[in-house]
Chains A and B, each alone.
Chain A
Amino acid sequence: GENVEQHPSTLSVQEGDSAVIKCTYSDSASNYFPWYKQELGKRPQLIIDIRSNVGEKKDQRIAVTLNKTAKHFSLHITETQPEDSAVYFCAASNGRDDKIIFGKGTRLHILP
């Protein structure tokens, strides 16, 4: 079955700098890659997603890139702000069923 690896597990960046979180997946049939953000005590919220027919998607300060050949996808947050502090989960889904396979999460700390 699908396996999603996520790195790093913890990331601290200075406010205003960029943050990058990287994920790999194992199932070449995966075609949908959502990213969820979970703030302390709150629900995981979808922040951006990408499907396998595109290589990059951007939404304001957030961008996601996908390399299908290498089975890598990454989340990029630019001009980080204190409210970006949270746990971020990458995930993959294969389109044959609705399971979302998650990575273990990255705890992002934005330092003042």
Chain B
Amino acid sequence: EAGVTQFPSHSVIEKGQTVTLRCDPISGHDNLYWYRRVMGKEIKFLLHFVKESKQDESGMPNNRFLAERTGGTYSTLKVQPAELEDSGVYFCASATTRMNIQYFGAGTRLSVL
């Protein structure tokens, strides 16, 4: 069974540009989560989808971040325009049902210069 996959693994962009990160959850997992780890700090929750619906987006930093999960399969996280403080590793996780084990992807390392 394929795990959670994220693309790209690394992205380097300049301040003010736009970047879109993609996450493919484990097949059949309705629950999809985005997290972010800024250098040296904890992994922080960004938002949670149940199928195509946003269940909780309380962790989204500001309106420069837009997450979508059209069709309830893969998800994208767009940052527009990117700022220096957006640099970090963005993780995606998925789970079969709520309150179940969350399986993580390898992350996308975003570097904003």
Query: Which residues from chain A sit less than 8 Å from chain B, CB to CB?
Result: 4, 32, 34, 36, 41-46, 49, 89, 93, 95, 97-105
CB neighbours (8 Å) of B58 from chain A are 99
B45's partner among A32, A99, A105 (CB-CB below 8 A) is: A99
Query: Which residues from chain B sit less than 8 Å from chain A, CB to CB?
Result: 3-4, 31, 33, 35, 40-45, 48, 55-56, 58-59, 91, 95, 98-99, 101-107
CB pair A43–B107 under 8 Å, yes or no, is yes
CB neighbours (8 Å) of A89 from chain B are 42-43
Q: Show 28 A/B contacts (Cβ-Cβ < 8 Å), sorted by A.
A: A4-B42, A32-B99, A41-B106, A43-B3, A44-B43, A44-B91, A44-B104, A46-B103, A89-B43, A93-B99, A95-B99, A97-B48, A97-B55, A97-B56, A98-B31, A98-B55, A98-B95, A98-B98, A99-B48, A99-B58, A100-B35, A100-B102, A102-B35, A102-B43, A102-B44, A103-B42, A104-B40, A105-B42
Distance of A102 Cα from B57 Cα, bound (Å): 17
CB pair A49–B101 under 8 Å, yes or no, is yes
Between B45, B95, B101, the greatest number of chain A beta carbons within 10 A of the residue's beta carbon is seen for B45
Distance of A41 Cα from B103 Cα, bound (Å): 16
Distance of A89 Cα from B102 Cα, bound (Å): 14
Given contacts A4-B42, A104-B42, contact A98 B106 (CB under 8 A): no
CB pair A100–B99 under 8 Å, yes or no, is no
Distance of A34 Cα from B43 Cα, bound (Å): 13
Chain A, residue nearest B43 (CB): A102
Between B44, B91, B102, the greatest number of chain A beta carbons within 10 A of the residue's beta carbon is seen for B102
Distance of A41 Cα from B98 Cα, bound (Å): 28
